[in-house]
């Protein structure tokens, strides 16, 4: 049977972002009750900001849910009044979104999720089932193509394991600080943040779930993004902590799923789509990358990995096929050299394909309703 110790050990994975102490050491864990049916616990918050409380609450629910064989998990919020719809700590955006609205003071507290970047109009995640399919390439060129329309665009590299975006954009600059906030680095007209800009390339960081969660929060709330039309998130592959965290801290406008034609056969991409659907994140559509190979000599297209894979997947899920991007040597070189294809050869067919993708994404964002509702994870 489940022991109190197991519960406390799991909860020790959650740290207070200010003191960096775990919530058990801080004495926030109260009224722990373990029985055959499951576990019930109260988080007795002290002065934490509403967003921190919401994060800790959802992390606790999630971490406890991961204990093998656990039954019902009930995490209550205690210690002080429930976060009011517009309550905000200094330095936090004043605008609250989601189900905190209209909740009476002192009502049983659902986690109040505050949009940490209220000045950003549209948020788009670029994700995939597995790595190496061209997510970062798509994220970078999509962001640049959106910028090309005159929109203001930010790009957050959430892939802490392989932060390729700074390299792809040819930037090594360290972000500056102003007024205790990080100033994003500018690259080809984009505002950029990546862990790759903050830590030494060779530094081995072992990222645990809670660290990824607080990293993503920091990328949003501790960075001076200002008003932006679009924020693009380059995600790590799969269905891991980054996807979960991002969709919890932000009402994501939608996700673009990148796949190669042959990967459609794999379970990973379906799992990834299924996860976003469960998290209530609209699937904007599929990007089939490395669709065909355009011969630089004769111009003929060859479907090396087969064709129609992306279209099949799109049909299966009832979402649009947003783009089919050919395998193009210059796209690879552009990524390696820090001048993405949309900047390097703006007149090329590939750059045009990315501009079409940007138009399709913009249309879909409008169609699915811009700011979606926040997912509830419990
Ligand atoms: N359409 C394409 N044509 C040629 N090379 C590509 C294309 N898309 C991606 N690549 C190259 O494939 C490699 C993996 O792409 P990347 O965007 O890093 O994938 P991911 O982010 O999914 O791991 C990179 O070297 C990139 O330049
Ligand atoms: Mg990548």
Whether the CB-CB separation of 23 and 343 falls below 8 Å is answered with: no
Q: How far is the CA of 165 from the centre of ligand 2 (A)?
A: 7
Taking the CA of residue 290 as reference, the ligand 1 atom at the shortest distance is: 1
Residue 99 DSSP code? G
Q: How far apart are CA 178 and CA 150, in angstroms?
A: 26
Kindly state the tokens that stand for 157. 């590299």
Q: Model pTM greater than 0.75?
A: no
Q: How far apart are CA 312 and CA 299, in angstroms?
A: 26
Which ligand is nearest to the Cα of residue 160, counting in written order? 2
What residue ranges define each of the domains in the chain, with the CATH number in brackets?
Answer: 4-100 (3.30.300.130), 120-368 (3.40.50.300)
Q: What angle do CA 50, 51, 56 make, to 5 degrees?
A: 100
For ligand 2, a single-atom ion, the residues with CB < 5 A are 135-136, 164
Mutate to test the pocket of ligand 1, among 126, 127, 137, 333 (most ligand atoms within 8 A of CB): 137
Whether the CB-CB separation of 6 and 12 falls below 8 Å is answered with: no
Spell out the residues 6+ positions from residue 143 whose beta carbon is closer than 8 angstroms to its own.
153, 154, 155, 190, 230, 232
Taking the CA of residue 237 as reference, the ligand 1 atom at the shortest distance is: 22
Mutate to test the pocket of ligand 1, among 335, 338, 345 (most ligand atoms within 8 A of CB): 335
Q: Where are the beta strands (DSSP E) in the chain?
A: 29-35, 38-44, 72-78, 120-128, 153-157, 176-178, 181-183, 185-187, 190-194, 228-234, 254-259, 283-294, 301-302, 321-327
Which ligand is nearest to the Cα of residue 350, counting in written order? 1
Mutate to test the pocket of ligand 1, among 129, 332, 348 (most ligand atoms within 8 A of CB): 332
What is the pLDDT tens value at each position of the chain, 378 positions in all?
A: 788 899 999 999 888 877 888 899 988 998 899 888 889 999 988 877 776 787 788 788 888 888 888 888 888 877 754 333 333 333 333 333 333 333 333 333 334 456 788 899 999 999 999 999 999 999 999 999 999 999 999 999 998 888 899 999 999 888 998 888 999 999 999 999 998 888 776 666 677 788 888 899 999 999 999 999 999 999 998 888 888 888 888 889 999 999 998 877 678 899 999 999 988 899 999 999 998 887 778 878 887 777 678 888 999 999 999 999 999 999 999 999 999 999 999 999 999 999 999 999 999 999 897 444 444 443
* Residue 77, SS3 per DSSP: strand
């Amino acid at each position: 049977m489940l022991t109190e110790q197991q519960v406390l050990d799991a909860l020790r994975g959650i740290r207070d972002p200010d003191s960096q102490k775990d919530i058990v050491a801080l004495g926030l864990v109260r009224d722990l009750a373990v029985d055959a049916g499951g576990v019930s616990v109260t988080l007795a918050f002290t002065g934490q900001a509403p967003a921190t409380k919401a994060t800790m609450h959802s992390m606790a629910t999630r971490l406890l849910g991961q204990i093998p064989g656990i039954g019902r998990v009930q995490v209550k919020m205690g210690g002080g009044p429930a976060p009011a719809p517009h309550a905000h700590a200094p330095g936090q955006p004043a605008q609250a979104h989601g189900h905190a609205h209209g909740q009476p003071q002192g009502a049983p507290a659902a986690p109040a999720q505050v949009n940490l970047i209220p000045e950003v109009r549209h948020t788009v995640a670029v994700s995939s089932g597995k790595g190496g399919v061209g997510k970062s390439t798509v994220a970078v060129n999509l962001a640049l193509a959106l910028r090309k329309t005159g929109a203001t665009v930010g790009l957050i590299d959430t892939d802490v394991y392989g932060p390729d975006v700074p390299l792809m954009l040819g930037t090594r600059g360290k972000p500056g600080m102003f007024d205790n906030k990080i100033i994003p680095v500018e690259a080809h007209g984009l505002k950029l943040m990546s862990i790759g800009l903050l830590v030494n390339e060779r530094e081995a960081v072992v990222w645990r779930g809670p660290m990824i969660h607080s990293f993503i929060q920091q990328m949003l709330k501790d960075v001076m993004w200002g008003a932006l039309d679009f924020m693009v998130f380059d995600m790590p592959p799969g269905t891991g902590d980054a996807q979960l965290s991002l969709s919890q801290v932000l009402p994501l406008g939608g996700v673009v799923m990148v796949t190669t034609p042959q990967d459609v056969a794999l379970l990973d991409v379906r799992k990834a789509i299924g996860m976003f659907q469960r998290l209530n994140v609209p699937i904007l559509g599929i990007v089939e990358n490395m669709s065909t190979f355009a011969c630089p000599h004769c111009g003929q297209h060859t479907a090396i990995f087969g064709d129609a894979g992306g279209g099949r997947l799109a049909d299966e899920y009832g979402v649009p096929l947003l783009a089919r991007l050919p395998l193009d040597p210059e796209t690879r070189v552009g990524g390696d050299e820090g001048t993405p294809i949309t900047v390097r050869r703006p007149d090329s067919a590939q750059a045009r394909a990315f501009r079409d993708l940007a138009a399709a994404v913009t249309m879909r964002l409008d169609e699915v309703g811009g700011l979606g509702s926040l997912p509830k994870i419990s």
